Amino acid sequence: MLRLVACLLVSALFLPATAATQYGRQRQRQQQPTAYAPQSYGDVPGMIYSGTPIGVPPSADCALRTLAWEYGKKLQPNRSGFRTLYDALQLHACNVTAPPLLAQEWQPPLTHSSIGKRRTTLLYVDPRAPQEGTNVDSLRLRGSLKAPFRSIHAALNHSRSLPKPLDIVLRQGTHFIGQTVNLGPEDSGLRFRNYAGEEAIVSGATKVDLQWEPSTACTGCTNSRMMRCASFTGSASGS
């Protein structure tokens, strides 16, 4: 009888501790992060990894995505149908009519307004322009439409000696910049823009001049040695 009472007391002491341990382990398992699982998202049929939480009805999901697209078009009216945003929101799965692919294609403006009421000074930059000369005519006309600068940095340096407002007008083509364009308080009233109706591209890449010739490495391959490169030298090959 005494042995039975002792066993019952021991069981009464250890059972609560065992139950608490099991509960703690269960809570720990619940709090551990689970691995990424695509099926954990409530994807609208036709969407890929939409990120929509489970429980959101497809109708509500599509309505919110459509509102985001409409708001984006208001923020960026120059993007017309904003096709890239339409695709990013996967609105095709919501049976929303897709805008034309060319609807958001950027077109250079035909005219540019002046800054304020003052006459704006213009400096032109043409990446196809010859090396700037040092004769009197070149110095007098430098930066004009007939004698444009060849680099943005040259035009920027010259602009700092001229009154503002001032526009640095970029002619058609790719303008390679070898270093950062730093602007400060002295550049207040300065604006960079493209020449009316032309598309100017500003690139931080390094222009590489290559002269290709047949290669003996393999049939149909070509080989070239870099003739001029500011950052590095070496050789390139391709097929």
Q: Is the pTM of this model over 0.75?
A: no
Tokens read off for 96: 């929303």
Predicted confidence at residue 55, as pLDDT, reads 84
DSSP tag of 42 = -
Closest among 179, 124, 195 to 155, alpha carbons compared: 124
Percent of the chain with pLDDT over 90: 36
Predicted confidence at residue 100, as pLDDT, reads 84
- Cβ within 8 Å of residue 215, ≥6 positions away: 221, 222, 223, 237
pLDDT tens digits along 138-185: 566 789 988 999 999 999 999 999 999 999 999 999 999 988 999 999
Residue 169's DSSP bridge partners are: 124, 193
Q: Is the pLDDT of residue 124 over 60?
A: yes
Q: What is the mean pLDDT of residues 115-120?
A: 62
Predicted confidence at residue 142, as pLDDT, reads 85
Grade residue 68 by pLDDT with cuts at 50, 70 and 90.
very high
Per the model's pLDDT, the better-predicted residue between 21 and 156 turns out to be 156
Q: Is the pLDDT of residue 235 over 50?
A: no
Q: What is the mean pLDDT of residues 82-110?
A: 81
Q: What is the mean pLDDT of the chain?
A: 75
CA distances from 43 to 49, 54, 60, 84 (A): 7, 8, 12, 20
